[in-house]
Amino acid sequence: MTETAETTADIPPFRYTATLAGEIEARWQQRWDERGTFHAPNPAGPLADPAHPRFNAEKLYLMDMFPYPSGAGLHVGHPLGFIGTDCFGRYQRMAGRNVLHTMGFDSFGLPAEQYAVQTGQHPRTTTEQNIERYRQQLRMLGLGHDQRRSVATTDVEFYRWTQWIFLQIFNSWYDTDAGRARPIAELIAEFASGQRGTPDGRAWAELSEVERRGIVDDYRLAYISEAPVNWCPGLGTVLANEEITADGRSERGNFPVFKRNLRQWMMRITAYGDRLLADLDLLDWPEPIKLMQRNWIGRSSGAHISFPTEAGAIRVFTTRPDTLFGATYMVLAPEHELVDAMIPAAWPEGTRPAWTGGHATPREAVEAYRKFAAGKTDVERQAEAKEKTGVFVGAFATNPVNGARLPVFIADYVLAGYGTGAIMAVPGQDERDWAFAEVFDLPVIRTVQPPEGFDGKAYTGEGPAVNSGFLDGLDIAEAKARIIEWLESNGHGTGAVTYRLRDWLFSRQRYWGEPFPIVYDSTGLPIALPEEMLPLELPEVADFSPKTFDPEDADSSPETPLSRNREWVEVELDLGDGPKRYTRETNTMPQWAGSCWYELRYLDPTNAQTFADRANEEYWLGPRTPTDAGGADLYVGGVEHAVLHLLYARFWHKVLYDLGHVSSKEPFRRLFNQGYIQAYAYTDPRGAYVPAEEVVERDGRFFRGETEVNREYGKMGKSLRNVVTPDEMCAAYGADTFRVYEMSMGPLEVSRPWETRAVVGSYRFLQRVWRAMIDEHTGELRVVDAPADEKTRRLLHRVIDGVRGDMDALRFNTAIAKLIELTNGLTQLSATPREVAEPLVLMLAPFAPHVAEELWQRLGHADSLAYADFPVADPALLRAESVTYPVQVNGKVRGRVEVPADATEAQVREAALAAVADQLAGRDPRKVIVIPARMVSVVL
RNA sequence: GCCGGGAUGAUGGAAUCGGCAGACAUGAAUGCCUCAAAAGCAUUUGCCCGAAAGGGCGUGCGGGUUCGAGUCCCGCUCCCGGCACCA
């Protein structure tokens, strides 16, 4: 399908063919570029343009989730959303708004680096080549982007500001009392003045410089932590929790991932848990996406309770403090820090053999269990989730509410990273605890009365408290409130809230990412580079790859590419106290970093003083009403970013908001999830993929030649041999046809299969539009100034009205269907009235901008239609002169009547009854229902 | 397991507020044009009965509410997505 769709013979010379479409498209793309047609004026700075027709008009900030420029280029699925936003933007521009729409590139990332590793070619070279290819492909589609605003996250002038934002985050802390981030200098001032006490109570002045720095570093929103991280030897890097699949492997490459304690950069996103949750209510996002974020944040409220032991108190978190009287044992995560201190030399008197795991001493038992638990991969843990394992540590805790002696276990069903890494086990009300209690033969005390006839195990439903002393008889909510009151007044605990959300692991052992603007001095503590030293450019290295290991080698340790350039790593700098030797951070930032803030750089991409001028940020992103959070007006992209990218970007935006750098609380006011274009792939009997375009269907079966092949449905991909590119479609039909097809094949949010043979429908439609205006044989205009007949005129205005409604609601498929109806209404006419031709061209322009511009010009207009007014329906022509009512008798349509539009209900009723008189056969209807302008229903 | 979304002709989809199910398009069939084919154009096209007029059935399945249900309610089935020992 790389040839044009028709052979050259016998085609009328002025028909709208792919060849003509290609000429028109190239010409208009060039004009738009030359004229800067899609430049959106800023209120301030170098991109301000007071002469622009939309200067300071009502704005619309449109965004696509920017792509990673892969070497394979775009296939027909990629631009679906891009075309959708372009159609919407062009419509809104014609409707009077100042539309900001551009496209950038999320260009740091693994493939360029891996390609570099294989070929020795610098990642920047491949990345820039790929970006160039993407730009060409996007240009070919006629997207109305403001090219001046296009950025790539790998541009030094872009990542300079990524590093700057990192420094803002590093240099701030979260003031939980104020509920916002504040500059770190204010924290230091509080310590220095004594307003805030130090952790160990000593005066600030008594602390050494290193001690002070250590304390402050623990408050920072970007901090270094020696914590269990996901180490992936096969990739040679650590990964964020979110980059790991459900079965415990790397999302990229599908390698095993191990928990290892390593020093890594973290972002304190958990400090924002409450606000990230609460502010979802301010956003116009799909409810399922909000729900996914809510679940990801996982807020649960309950209480922290302390259980004394001889080695110190075990602090647990529970959502069911009301069941405290039912606690019969305690469980700590195997890694819990208190475990070692609690272990006695020997098993206590009367320890059951089953609790010891067959070991002679508690220490041996704990060590063996830890080894067992650490050796399990996450896959195994999932698979064995039902069979509870654990071991008694040989110590007891005391239940604060009744003094009961509770044996303490370690078990891997308690996770070190959630809550406090310890639980009180209440088997009567918790299924997991019940399962564990069954294995270890532990007692069960029910503290909620199950309903009559309940024969299950743990009871988690509602009911009155029992066996619970002063709580007896209260329902769960009342009991919770009472016990929290009791815990707080007796000093045994407090009401508390926890989150499933963890802090964000922010460093990667890669080359192709933003370097951290951080150095270390002889103390080993981090020091921020001053702003003037930005950008910190990526150094050249001999080898771009991190050291990778046997994927199963859990004991290996990361080695970063940057660490190999010793000249770069070891530097002498003057950071204000004279030249000194420092060591640079050699990790790089994760790929998410650039996409956390690019919506801001689009606003003011050439600004060298700041990431975006405040006036521009306020105009494009600022809140529109007192309760509005602000943000881009429409952000279109796939659901796969529902949690990670969108949560991270919201987090960074909120930090910048707290520090006063932006006026908007949220980056994306409205989110829209586009569907995917999927494709069929075919395998031959050996299971090998065969080229999809060679497969034909016969009687519901599929053949390549004489061989029957098997059909699968899924992604488009090179290895599946089913890729169709926009380049092929543009060559065969033209970009306008391709755009119309993508927009007409279904609603934007729905995934659907690609079907090349159906594209011809959109091609025929554009040919009919063209033929309605241009004589195919002479090339002359077929448009006349004579007025349209009444029927055509009414059709036109009904279509205008419908199309506007559809465009506003992003229902492009039904808008196009209406335009086709209007066009089909013109094909019988001997000439096309101008009063219909012009609105049709204008309404077509968002979808097929090139051919629309061409026709607009041939209709005698010198200027681009990009800023022409979108047609408005005449309300007088929307009112029908007569209405046809279907008449139902007992729910079935038995006739229809045409009555004048202004007929009274009684007249309609009378006409309807007359129309179905034969059905009535003289009987009197029991009831007659007249729905104005809709139908008549007769009940016998 | 829990949570979310979905199921309409051969196919993609339309029906926006409970009011004529199948807009628009693909495919298929027939015709026009052509020496022929392609392209283009025109007509038909949910299923069943019928020569036709006409009738019956029909929105995953089973019930319900209603004059009237693709749309609302109850109970299922299947498909897709998210989370998954989160205390």
Confidence of residue A713 (pLDDT cuts 50, 70, 90): confident
Q: Which nucleotide is nearest to A376 (CA to C1')?
A: B85
Q: Give the pLDDT score at A217.
A: 96
Distance A817 CA to B22 C1' (A): 14
* Whether residue A306 has pLDDT greater than 50: yes
State how far the Cα of A313 lies from the Cα of A784, in Å rounded to an integer: 91
Q: Give the pLDDT score at A7.
A: 44
Taking only the tens place, the pLDDT of each residue in A580-599 is 999 999 999 999 999 999 99
The pair of structure tokens assigned to A357 is 């795991």
Could you tell me the sign of the dihedral formed by the alpha carbons of A113, A116, A122, A123, in that order? negative
Distance A222 CA to B85 C1' (A): 30
State how far the Cα of A230 lies from the Cα of A509, in Å rounded to an integer: 12
Distance A772 CA to B32 C1' (A): 20
φ, ψ of residue A892 to 5 degrees: the values are -115, 140
| Selection from A802, A845, A799 nearest residue A824 by Cα | A799
* DSSP conformational letter for A348: P
Contact, A768 CB vs strand B, < 7 Å: yes
The protein residue nearest B10 (Cα–C1') is A700
Q: Which nucleotide is nearest to A296 (CA to C1')?
A: B83
Look at A64-73, A109-118, A334-343, A439-448 and tell me which has the smallest mean pLDDT: A109-118
Contact present, A77 and A56 (Cβ < 8 Å): no
Q: Which residues pair with A526 in a beta bridge?
A: A520
Contact, A419 CB vs strand B, < 7 Å: yes
Q: Which of residues 229-248 of A touch strand B (CB under 7 A)?
A: 242, 246
Q: Which nucleotide is nearest to A749 (CA to C1')?
A: B5
Q: Which of residues 855-884 of A touch strand B (CB under 7 A)?
A: 884
| Selection from A446, A384, A393, A438 nearest residue A413 by Cα | A384
Contact, A606 CB vs strand B, < 7 Å: no
Confidence of residue A382 (pLDDT cuts 50, 70, 90): low
Q: Give the pLDDT score at A398.
A: 97
* Whether residue A5 has pLDDT greater than 60: no
* Whether residue A816 has pLDDT greater than 60: yes
Q: Which of residues 385-404 of A touch strand B (CB under 7 A)?
A: 385, 388
H or E element: which one contains A581?
A: strand A579-584
The SS3 call for residue A496 is strand
Contact, A502 CB vs strand B, < 7 Å: no
Could you tell me the sign of the dihedral formed by the alpha carbons of A497, A498, A499, A504, in that order? positive
Contact, A379 CB vs strand B, < 7 Å: no
List domains and CATH numbers for chain A: 164-271+504-591 (no CATH), 299-499 (3.90.740.10), 880-939 (3.10.20.590)
Report CA-CA distances (Å) from A137 to A63, A444, A729, A759: 18, 67, 12, 19
Q: Which residue has the tokens 């071991």?
A: A391
Q: Which of A204-213, A238-247, A450-459 has the highest mean pLDDT?
A: A204-213
Confidence of residue A1 (pLDDT cuts 50, 70, 90): very low
* Whether residue A381 has pLDDT greater than 70: no
Distance A196 CA to B81 C1' (A): 48
* Whether residue A667 has pLDDT greater than 70: yes
Distance A573 CA to B7 C1' (A): 66
Contact, A108 CB vs strand B, < 7 Å: no
* Whether residue A652 has pLDDT greater than 60: yes
Q: Which nucleotide is nearest to A424 (CA to C1')?
A: B87
Q: Which residue has the tokens 């992209």?
A: A637
Q: Which residue has the tokens 């950069």?
A: A265
The protein residue nearest B26 (Cα–C1') is A758
The SS3 call for residue A699 is coil
Confidence of residue A266 (pLDDT cuts 50, 70, 90): very high
Contact, A893 CB vs strand B, < 7 Å: yes
Q: Give the pLDDT score at A2.
A: 37
Question: Which is more confidently placed, A452 or A602?
Answer: A602
Distance A709 CA to B30 C1' (A): 32
Task: Please count the CA atoms within 13 angstroms of the CA of A806 that sit on its side-chain side.
Answer: 25
Distance A166 CA to B84 C1' (A): 33
Distance A267 CA to B1 C1' (A): 32
Q: Which residues lie below 8 Å from residue A847, measured CB to CB, with a gap of 6+?
A: A87, A736, A739, A740, A743, A812, A815, A816, A819
Question: What percentage of chain A carries pLDDT values higher than 70?
Answer: 97
Q: Which residues lie below 8 Å from residue A348, measured CB to CB, with a gap of 6+?
A: A394, A395, A396
Q: Which of residues 319-338 of A touch strand B (CB under 7 A)?
A: 319-320, 333
State how far the Cα of A575 lies from the Cα of A555, in Å rounded to an integer: 37
A718 is in an annotated binding site: yes
State how far the Cα of A920 lies from the Cα of A926, in Å rounded to an integer: 11
Q: Which residues pair with A397 in a beta bridge?
A: A406
Taking only the tens place, the pLDDT of each residue in A601-646 is 999 999 999 999 999 999 999 999 999 999 999 999 999 999 999 9
Contact, A762 CB vs strand B, < 7 Å: yes
Distance A588 CA to B71 C1' (A): 53
Distance A9 CA to B31 C1' (A): 23
Q: Which of residues 807-846 of A touch strand B (CB under 7 A)?
A: 809, 811, 813-814, 816-817, 820-821, 824, 827
Alpha helices, DSSP H, located in A326-460: 339-342, 362-375, 378-383, 431-440
| Selection from A81, A79, A80, A99 nearest residue A89 by Cα | A99
Interior angle at CA A387, CA A386 and CA A392, nearest 5: 130
Distance A246 CA to B1 C1' (A): 15
- What's the mean pLDDT when you consider all of chain A? 91
The mean pLDDT value for A449-466 works out to 86
Q: Give the pLDDT score at A385.
A: 65
Distance A919 CA to B55 C1' (A): 14
Question: What percentage of chain A carries pLDDT values higher than 90?
Answer: 71
Burial A450-483 (b: 16+ CB within 10 A, else e): beeeeeeebbbeebbbbebeebeebebeebbebb
State how far the Cα of A35 lies from the Cα of A118, in Å rounded to an integer: 43
* Whether residue A404 has pLDDT greater than 60: yes
The mean pLDDT value for A518-537 works out to 95
Q: Which nucleotide is nearest to A10 (CA to C1')?
A: B39
The protein residue nearest B25 (Cα–C1') is A761
In chain B, which nucleotides are within 7 Å of a protein Cβ? 3-5, 11-16, 19-21, 23-27, 36-42, 55-56, 67-69, 81-87
The protein residue nearest B1 (Cα–C1') is A386
The protein residue nearest B27 (Cα–C1') is A758
Contact present, A939 and A890 (Cβ < 8 Å): yes
* Whether residue A104 has pLDDT greater than 60: yes
Distance A1 CA to B69 C1' (A): 46
Distance A899 CA to B55 C1' (A): 28
Q: Which residues lie below 8 Å from residue A451, measured CB to CB, with a gap of 6+?
A: A461, A463
State how far the Cα of A588 lies from the Cα of A222, in Å rounded to an integer: 14
Q: Give the pLDDT score at A889.
A: 85
The SS3 call for residue A576 is coil
Contact, A225 CB vs strand B, < 7 Å: no
Q: Give the pLDDT score at A4.
A: 42
Contact present, A249 and A255 (Cβ < 8 Å): yes
Q: Give the pLDDT score at A439.
A: 92
Look at A58-67, A109-118, A160-169, A238-247 and tell me which has the smallest mean pLDDT: A238-247
User: What's the pTM?
Assistant: 0.93
Distance A939 CA to B57 C1' (A): 22
Alpha helices, DSSP H, located in A279-402: 287-297, 339-342, 362-375, 378-383
Q: Which of residues 124-153 of A touch strand B (CB under 7 A)?
A: none
Q: Which nucleotide is nearest to A299 (CA to C1')?
A: B86
| Selection from A96, A48, A84 nearest residue A634 by Cα | A84
The mean pLDDT value for A218-227 works out to 92
Contact, A715 CB vs strand B, < 7 Å: no
| Structure ipTM over 0.85, yes or no | yes
Q: Give the pLDDT score at A789.
A: 92
The SS3 call for residue A40 is coil
Contact, A585 CB vs strand B, < 7 Å: no
- In sequence order, what DSSP letters do the residues of A192-251 get, joined into one string? HHTSS--TT---GGGS-HHHHHHHHHTTBSEEEEEEEEEEETTTTEEE-GGGB-TTSBBT
Contact, A800 CB vs strand B, < 7 Å: no
State how far the Cα of A623 lies from the Cα of A629, in Å rounded to an integer: 5
Contact, A381 CB vs strand B, < 7 Å: yes
Contact, A643 CB vs strand B, < 7 Å: yes
State how far the Cα of A692 lies from the Cα of A681, in Å rounded to an integer: 6
Distance of CA A109 to the CA centre of its chain: 18
- In sequence order, what DSSP letters do the residues of A92-113 get, joined into one string? HHHTT-EEEE---B---SHHHH
Q: Give the pLDDT score at A112.
A: 83
Distance A895 CA to B50 C1' (A): 21
Q: Give the pLDDT score at A226.
A: 81
